[in-house]
Amino acid sequence: MNKQMYMDEAEKALLHTYNRFQIVLEKGEGVYLYDTDGKKYLDFAAGIAVQAFGYGKKEYNDALKEQIDKICHTSNLYYNVPIINAAERFLKISHMDRVFFTNSGAEAIEGAVKAAKKYAYTRDGHGGHEIISMNHSFHGRTLGALSVTGNPRYQEPFEPLMPGVKFADYNDLESVKAQVSEKTCAIILETVQGEGGVFPATEEFLIGLREICDRNDILLILDEIQCGMGRTGYMFAWEKYGVKPDILTSAKALGCGVPVGAFAMTKKVAEKSLKPGDHGTTYGGNPFVGAAVNKVIELMERENIPAHVQKIGAYLEKKLDGLVQKYDFITERRGVGLMQGLVSEKPVGEITAKALEEGLILISAGSNVLRFVPPLVIEEQHVDEMAEKLERVFATIQPSAS
């Protein structure tokens, strides 16, 4: 079948919940993707910050093939070796004490919220507790995750959502303080907001939140589903600030394409929250995803991916800053490591579509931000290639740029 036939078949069979780009991707190699017509694309989206090693990483692929030949699934009624090894590695890099593996990031958020509520229930002997989240946040599409997502456009069609959620302004400590009450059991936020426009937390804000939580026995939940696993130049972004959460969520690059998420917690939270019967999953933490997580973390540590991201991230920042200076409709760069955004006064949908024509895959964050979340293994030449392609796109929008 040709490309159009594939897309027509997809629209007949799949529920139309995505307005997809008009290409059909077939294979990947390194940091490049190829469509069914054989066209090559430089990938600066990485499956939305998932493919940390790009495509065709032999050692990763071999680990999955080996596990398939052993066993893929057993259920959580039994122990399995791969997930035990994965858990040990994850707890080491996250500095947490207990972890629960899920099938997705949204499920990790669900588990984190349940753990926080159960902690407060155990402490106080009753329910009715509240959670503070941030405006312009994004935590997932399930009803629980949507309830703590600070975007009314996503929420309104599905109301009523989970009660007891208040919203404050990101990086505004006073707005958080105004929402704290004796009912507050947790404060949840992305350490770097992704969908909301690529906004890193300020050090003052995170330190202030930690103090509020410590003073009031409130749990700090950091959502590092997108910004974690090396993307900011640290294994987890909170390490840059030295502000450790009580509960941490992870997904995306955790499995590098295998559907897996996790929520982890300190010993204090684990001892007073979820018990047998409180939470569960059929597929979460099965041997197949355990093999993936174990190998991903092993490779990230051995190849010192965070250090590489710090180096290449600085180079990417320099290139993007140059574009801000050169093009009037690009007004700002913000981000950290290999999680960057350019604020555009022109429609970003038009820019990403034109970038595809140039063989460059980019995605947006919100309505006015171009998002750059490439594989963590890119080199300087890939940044240069991206900038050249993007300049050709920008030149069609602002031809007179000097």
pLDDT tens digits, the chain, 402 residues: what are they?
A: 889 999 999 999 999 999 999 999 999 999 999 999 999 999 999 999 999 999 999 999 999 999 999 999 999 999 999 999 999 999 999 999 999 999 999 999 999 999 999 999 999 999 999 999 999 999 999 999 999 999 999 999 999 999 999 999 999 999 999 999 999 999 999 999 999 999 999 999 999 999 999 999 999 999 999 999 999 999 999 999 999 999 999 999 999 999 999 999 999 999 999 999 999 999 999 999 999 999 999 999 999 999 999 999 999 999 999 999 999 999 999 999 999 999 999 999 999 999 999 999 999 998 899 999 999 999 999 999 999 999 999 999 887 654
* Pair (76, 12) in one structural domain: no
Provide the number of structural domains found in the chain: 2
Q: What is the pLDDT of residue 398?
A: 81
Q: Do the beta carbons of residue 160 and residue 151 sit within 8 Å?
A: no
Say how far apart CA 218 and CA 94 lie, in whole Å: 20
* Pair (274, 372) in one structural domain: no
Q: What is the pLDDT of residue 85?
A: 98
- Count of helix runs (H) and strand runs (E) in the chain: 15, 17
- Domain encompassing residue 144: 71-302
Q: What is the pLDDT of residue 1?
A: 82
Q: What is the pLDDT of residue 400?
A: 61
* Pair (285, 350) in one structural domain: no
* Pair (223, 318) in one structural domain: no
> Is beta strand 199-200 parallel, antiparallel or unpaired with respect to 165-168?
unpaired
Q: What is the pLDDT of residue 147?
A: 98
Q: What is the CATH number for 353?
A: 3.90.1150.10
* Pair (267, 381) in one structural domain: no
Residue after which a domain boundary falls, among 279, 302, 325: 302
For 254, residues 6+ apart whose C-beta sits below 8 A from its C-beta are 90, 228, 229, 260, 261, 262, 293, 296
Residue 178 lies in a domain: yes
Residue after which a domain boundary falls, among 252, 269, 302: 302
pLDDT digits over 158-211, tens only?
999 999 999 999 999 999 999 999 999 999 999 999 999 999 999 999 999 999
Residue after which a domain boundary falls, among 252, 280, 302: 302
* Pair (82, 228) in one structural domain: yes
Q: Do the beta carbons of residue 349 and residue 356 sit within 8 Å?
A: no
Residue 65 lies in a domain: no
* Pair (216, 258) in one structural domain: yes
Say how far apart CA 193 and CA 178 lie, in whole Å: 21
Residue 248 lies in a domain: yes
For 306, residues 6+ apart whose C-beta sits below 8 A from its C-beta are 230, 233, 234, 235, 300
- Give the angle subtended at the CA of 172 by the CAs of 166 and 173, to the nearest 5°: 80
Write the CA distances from 96 to 104, 232, 245, 292, integer angstroms. Answer: 19, 19, 9, 20
Q: Do the beta carbons of residue 244 and residue 238 sit within 8 Å?
A: yes
Write the CA distances from 395 to 206, 328, 355, 382, integer angstroms. Answer: 39, 11, 12, 20
pLDDT digits over 86-145, tens only?
999 999 999 999 999 999 999 999 999 999 999 999 999 999 999 999 999 999 999 999
Q: Do the beta carbons of residue 178 and residue 187 sit within 8 Å?
A: no
